[in-house]
A and B are shown apart, each in its own frame.
Chain A
C-alpha cells in the first residue's frame, strides 16, 4: 500500500482528504464534498471558466497549459455532443500522484469532471485509468455508482434540469495513450496512435465532438479552486502558476513520497528539507525535475530554482508531471540514459519515423556505449540523433525521448568518455541491467 508522508512545508489542498476515508461518499460530503459542483450549477458556464482562468491553474499532466483557457476554446454551440475526458493514464516514469488521488479521493475527480462538464456544456465525461490501476478503477467505479445513487450524476444532477453522466474506462498498457489524441483513439477502441493537430481536441475530439481533456490532478484540483475562490488559490503559488503541486519524490532520497507544495517551492529544499537529503550520506549528482522526459539538472542548477512551469522552463528543463527523481554520486549516468531510452523505445507507437527509428538507434548506441564498445564519435552521434527528433513527430513522445538524452550527453559528457575504449563501467554495481551488445 502506498505510504502517505507529510512535511510541515506542505500546503494540503488536493491532498487534504488523503488518509481520511474520503473514498466513502458520506465522508467526502462531510469533508465539504460536492458543494463546489452545486455552486457551479447555480453560477453557470461563464462564471466557472472565468474563475478557473483567474485561479492560474495550469495543466498538471506536464505541458502546463492554462486550464481555464483550454475550457474557453470549446465552442458554445456544437452540432456534435461535447465531452469531458479525464486522463488518468499516469505512466510518465517518476509520476505516481494520480495513483494517490484515485486511491484516497476519487470523488474529487468525479466532482471536478462534473464542473468541467458544466463549464463546456457537456453531458458525458470519461475517466480513463491506465490498465495497471485495476484496484483504483474499482474504487473509482464504486465512487461513480455512489454518486449516481445520490443523484449527483444522471438525468437531473442535484435535482436540477441538467444532465451529466460519467463512464469509467480502463487502458491496457501503453504510455503513448497518455498523449491526449492517442487517448481518444484508445477510447474509440483503436490502437493508441496520435492524431495530427490541428484540429485540436477542443474543436474536434472524441467521436469528432468538442472535447476537453485534462489530467486527473488538474480535474481533482478544480473543486478546491471553486471552494477556496480563485484569488485565494492563485495567491498560494507564483505569478501565472496558481496553487500547489503534488511532487512525487523518488530515487536516492531519504524520505521519498508524494508531497503537496506551493508552486515555486525551491527544488533544493525539496531534495534536502522535504526529502531529507540524499540517502546513506552520499552526495547529489543530479535531479530529474518533472518525470523522465524532462532534462536533468545539476546540483548547482537547483540552488535557486523555484518549481513552477516558468522558472523550470527558464532553467532549460520542464516542470513536467511532478516526478522529482534524485540521483546520487554512485549512479552511472550512461546507464540512467540507457534505461530512460529503453523505455521510450519500448513505448514509441511507431507511427512516425523520427521517433520509431530515433529511439531504436539511440537505445542501440547507448547499449553499445554502456557495454564499453562505444567510439568517441558516438557521443556526438547520440546528440545529433536526438536533436533531429525534436519537433519532428506528431506527438511529444519523440521530444520526450530526445530532450533528456541531449541533456545527459551535454551535462555528463565526461561519464560518456569514461566508457570509451572498452573500459568497464566505473559505476558498475551488483544487479546492473543485463545488457546484450548489439
Chain B
C-alpha cells in the first residue's frame, strides 16, 4: 500500500502533462477510486501498455494495492499488459460487419501485414486484432485504428489506409514509435 507521506517524489513514469491530468482526474469524483479505469486507459495511451511501473504508479495515485489494479485491469479488453503496435488495427467481425465482409477485411490486413492475430509487425508500426462490435453497425464493415474509425470499407481500401498511417508515422519523425 502507498505511504501516507504527502511529499511523494514526483512521477517519472508519466509526462508532466499526463501527470497533471491524472492529478485533476482523482480530484473530481466523490470517491477517488472512480478514477482508476480512465487513469489506466490514459496512462496506457501514453506509455503503450500497463507496464509494471505504470501499475505501480497508478496504485500509488489511487491508494490501492498493485494486485487490486491488476485485478481490475485484467477485466477490460482495451487494457493490456504487453505493448502493441504504434497503430493498433482493430477489425470488427461481429454480425453486422461479418454480413458485409468484415472477415474479408480482416484477411486482407493479415495478408498486407503478414502478422498473426494479435501480432505486431517487425517495425513495431502495426498490430492487428479482431474485435467485437465497435458501434459502427450501420456503416459496416468498420475498423478502428487506435481511436480513429474507418467505415464502409472494401478490401481494396486497405493498402491506402495502411499507407496513410505509414506517412503519419514518418511525419511524427519516428518519435514514440
Instruction: Give A residues with C-beta under 8 Å from B.
Output: 1-3, 81, 90-96, 98-99, 124, 130-135, 167, 169-175, 186-192, 207, 248-252, 256-258, 288, 292, 323, 325, 327, 331, 336, 339-340, 343, 346-347, 349, 430-433
Contacts and interface: CB of A to CB of B under 8 A. Distances in A.
Given A430-B104, A433-B103, A134 B152 contact: no
Contacts of B98: 336, 339, 433
Interface stretch (B69-77, B157-165, B167-175): B69-77
A258 to B, nearest CB: 5
A102 B101 CA distance: 27
Interface centre among A131, A133, A172 (most CB of B within 10 A): A172
Contacts of A3: 139, 151-152
A87 to B, nearest CB: 13
Contacts of A292: 94-95, 133
CB-CB nearest 8 A-B residue pairs: A173-B78, A189-B36, A173-B77, A189-B33, A172-B76, A134-B147, A431-B104, A191-B75
B127 interface: no
Nearest to A165: B28
Interface stretch (B3-11, B37-45, B118-126): B37-45
Interface in B66-107: 71-72, 75-79, 93-96, 98-101, 103-104, 107
B134 interface: yes
B37 A331 contact: no
Interface string B12-54: 0000000000000000111101111110110000000000000
Interface of B: 28-31, 33-38, 40-41, 62, 71-72, 75-79, 93-96, 98-101, 103-104, 107, 132-140, 144, 147-149, 151-152
Contacts of B33: 188-190
B103 A170 contact: no
Contacts of A252: 99-100
B75 A174 contact: yes
A256 B138 contact: yes
Contacts, number: 158
Contacts of A288: 95
A223 B146 CA distance: 34
Which secondary structure dominates where chain A touches chain B? loop
A94 B75 contact: no
A331 B99 contact: yes
Contacts of B72: 189-191
A98 B133 CA distance: 14
Given A339-B95, A349-B75, A433-B93, A169 B133 contact: no
Contacts of B144: 132
A91 B133 contact: yes
28 contacts: A1-B151, A2-B136, A3-B139, A3-B151, A90-B135, A93-B137, A94-B95, A96-B138, A96-B139, A130-B135, A131-B41, A135-B147, A171-B76, A174-B76, A175-B133, A186-B37, A248-B138, A249-B138, A251-B95, A252-B99, A288-B95, A323-B96, A323-B137, A336-B98, A339-B95, A343-B95, A349-B75, A433-B98
A339 B97 CA distance: 11
B161 to A, nearest CB: 14
A188 B71 CA distance: 14
B139 to A, nearest CB: 5
A189 B62 contact: yes
Contacts of B35: 189
B37 A431 contact: no
A113 to B, nearest CB: 16
Given A186-B37, A432-B103, A250 B76 contact: no
B31 to A, nearest CB: 6
B100 to A, nearest CB: 7
A167 B29 contact: yes
Contact of B132 (A93, A134, A191, A331): A93
Contact of B78 (A81, A132, A339): A132
Given A93-B95, A190-B72, A2 B103 contact: no
Given A93-B132, A94-B96, A250-B137, A192 B103 contact: no
Nearest to B117: A434
Contacts of B76: 131, 171-174, 192
B138 A132 contact: no
Contacts of A124: 30
Interface centre among B31, B95, B107 (most CB of A within 10 A): B95
A288 B94 CA distance: 14
Contacts of A336: 95, 98
Contacts of A327: 99
A331 B134 CA distance: 22
A431 B104 CA distance: 5
A173 B80 CA distance: 11
A134 to B, nearest CB: 4
A171 B77 CA distance: 10
B34 A189 contact: yes
Contacts of B148: 135
A99 B77 CA distance: 20
Given A135-B149, A343-B94, A349-B75, A94 B37 contact: no
